[in-house]
Amino acid sequence: MTLPPRATIIEVGPRDGLQIEKQPIPTEAKVRLVDLLTAAGVPRIEVTSFVHPRHVPQMADAEEVLARIQRRPGTKYEALVPNARGIERALTCRVDRIVLFVAASEGFNQKNLRAGREEMLQAAREAARMAREARLPMRGGVVTAFGCPYEGRVPLEAVERVAGEYLELGCEEVTLADTVGVTNPAAVRRMLEHLKGRFPGARFGLHFHNTRGAGLANVLAGLEAGAESFDASAGGMGGCPFAPRASGNIATEDTVNMLHEMGIETGIGLPGLLQAVALAESLLGRQLPGQLLHAGIMNWDAPAA
> Which residues 6+ apart lie within 8 Å of 74 measured at CB?
41, 43, 267
The answer for 181, left when phi > 0, alpha when psi is -120 to 50, beta otherwise, is: left
> Which residues 6+ apart lie within 8 Å of 282 measured at CB?
none
| Catalytic positions, written as ranges | 240
Q: Residue 150 interacts with a second copy (CB under 8 A)?
A: yes
Q: Which stretch in 13-21, 46-54, 162-170, 213-221 sits in contact with a second copy by CB under 8 A? A: 213-221
Buried residues in 286-296 as b, exposed as e (16+ CB within 10 A)? eebbbebbeee
Residue of 6, 168, 186, 265 that binds a second copy (CB under 8 A): 186
Restricted to residues 71-90, the positions that interact with a second copy (CB under 8 A) are none
Residue 10 host element (H or E): strand 8-11
First and final C-alpha spacing in the chain: 33
Q: How many residues in the shown chain lie near a second copy by CB under 8 A?
A: 60
Residue of 83, 247, 249, 266 that binds a second copy (CB under 8 A): 247
Residue of 118, 168, 261, 265 that binds a second copy (CB under 8 A): 261
Helix/strand/coil for 70 = coil
Q: How far apart are CA 92 and CA 197, in angstroms?
A: 38
Q: Residue 222 interacts with a second copy (CB under 8 A)?
A: no
Beta bridge partners of 80: 49, 99
Restricted to residues 266-305, the positions that interact with a second copy (CB under 8 A) are 287, 289-292, 294-295, 298-305
The least CB distance from residue 13 to a second copy, in Å, is: 15
The least CB distance from residue 302 to a second copy, in Å, is: 7
Nearest to 104 by CA among 6, 36, 9, 195: 195
Q: How far apart are CA 301 and CA 31, in angstroms?
A: 35
Residue of 46, 61, 231, 254 that binds a second copy (CB under 8 A): 254
Provide the CB-side half-sphere exposure for 67 (13 A, CA).
Answer: 9
Q: Which stretch in 90-98, 126-134, 196-204, 243-251 sits in contact with a second copy by CB under 8 A? A: 243-251
The least CB distance from residue 50 to a second copy, in Å, is: 27
Beta bridge partners of 97: 78
Q: Residue 219 interacts with a second copy (CB under 8 A)?
A: yes
Q: Residue 152 interacts with a second copy (CB under 8 A)?
A: yes
CA dihedral 96, 276, 205, 16 (to 10 degrees): -80
Residue of 210, 229, 249, 266 that binds a second copy (CB under 8 A): 210
Q: Residue 5 interacts with a second copy (CB under 8 A)?
A: no
Nearer of residues 163 and 270 to a second copy, judged by Cβ? 270
What residue ranges bind a second copy (CB under 8 A)? 1, 3, 111, 147-153, 180-187, 189, 210-217, 219-221, 224, 243-247, 250-251, 254-255, 257-258, 261-263, 287, 289-292, 294-295, 298-305
